[in-house]
Structure 1
Amino acid sequence: MYIIAGLGNPTKEYNGTRHNVGFDAIDAIAKKYKINVDSKKHKGIFGTGYVEGYKVILVKPLTYMNLSGESIREFIDYYKVEPEDELIILYDDIDLDVGQLRIRKKGSAGGHNGIKSIIAHVGTQNFMRVKIGVGEKPKHMDLADYVLGHFSKEERQLVDESITNAVEAVELMITRDADAAMNVYNQKVR
């Protein structure tokens, strides 16, 4: 069984923002595999189903980004999964160009408060992740304003393509392993 969690902020005003691409990716997986993500428990909204024959729990923490680890920890404890092997987190990354993906099996938070919270609550940096590039913050902009802002029309098209790729990366991570996904998706776009 896998817990696949997308990071974001739960209220409507954050829909479609850079910080919510993790939620968008969960929605894309849910749509493709006809999984209803509408149950509430463990400080999150979730749904259970199957991806490529493997049982999954799709999760969107409702704690807001900076406290994502509270929800993830409760799901891990309840479903008794091993973070190193059975947890996949999808989230935004400002160090990647818009549309670029980076798959990792472990690592630091890299300044991302949602990941920082997960590491603190789960007690390990060893969990799989799919970073979805949202582009570098312009020098004149505040970081919070940037990540809580919306994509341009052109950027949105690239992000939508990368979310499709993120779904395929998750499929590879589940059916084969993270290395297989890294070999395919850890390449620069353009």
Structure 2
Amino acid sequence: MAELSLVVGLGNPGAQYARTRHNAGFRVADEIVRRQSADYQAWQNLGEYAKIRLAGKDVLVAKPFTYMNESGRLVSSLARFFKIPAQNILVCFDDVSLGVGHIRLRPSGSAGGQKGMKSVIEQLGTQNIARLRVGIGPKPAPFDLADFVLSNFSKADETLLAPALENAANAVESWLKDGLEKTMTRFNG
């Protein structure tokens, strides 16, 4: 069996969260799956995944059904079952420290306060997991952080987000094809 890669979009399940800032990772995953005209299938009550072929590689694109702070359960379950090493995993999630419309890739590091990424790191037992952060900020001063990330994007922000989601999907394809270093050079500027 060919070596698989795993791309995970983080977010919260349910219609009430679908368009919130915290679901930027889900929206990246959905953009990738939409481009491939693929369908998701459920995985052990932990989430869903679509198996696609992208950049000449077999890839699972997944979204947790658990809430954000339990995202690692799906990631570790898929990684164990399909024998996907940490270096073949890319996690996509929202980042309040990046402006709306910006994306940034990193090869590793701490969760930086992102509870979904913290769960992934804890479940996999390593910080050496590539991540693609999608800007949703900055948070306005009067907002509580939790209220902000669970708020919907304004129409103006949606206009900025749309090309960022396309760009993020392109970055995932580049990561698979050209590796992380070249992709960071191309997309982090």
Question: TM (normalized to structure 1)?
Answer: 0.95
1:171 aligned residue (170, 173, 179): 173
CA distance in 1, matches of 2:154, 2:186: 27
Shift of 1:123: 0.3
Deviation at 1:124, TM superposition (A): 0.3
Match of 2:53 in 1: 50
Gaps of 5+ in 1: none
The equivalent of 1:110 in structure 2 is 112
Measured after TM superposition, the shift of residue 39 of structure 1 is 2.8
Aligned Cα root-mean-square deviation (Å)? 1.0
* Residue correspondence of structure 1 range 1-190 to structure 2 within 5 A: 1-41=4-44, 43-83=46-86, 85-187=87-189
Structure 2: how far apart are the matches of 1:132 and 1:153? 17
**SS of residue matched to 1:95:** strand
Where has structure 1 moved over 4 Å in runs of 4 or more? none
SS of aligned partner of 1:49: strand
Question: Would you say the 8 A contact 2:45–2:65 is kept in 1?
Answer: no
Output the CA distance in 2 between the equivalents of 1:7 and 1:27: 11
Q: Distance in 2 between matches of 1:106 and 1:146?
A: 26
Structure 1: distance between partners of 2:113 and 2:32:
26
Aligned positions, number: 186
Structure 1 position 38, deviation (Å):
3.1
TM-score (norm 2): 0.96
Percent of paired sites with the same residue: 37
- Residue type at the aligned position of 1:101: I
AA of the residue aligned to 1:72? V
The answer to which of 117-126 and 32-41 deviates more is 32-41
- CA offset digits 1:134-166 (Å, max 9, x no partner): 012112111111000011111101111101000
- Aligned AA for 1:19? H
Counterpart residue identity of residue 67, structure 1: E
Whole-Å Cα distance in 1 between the matches of residues 162 and 178 of structure 2? 24
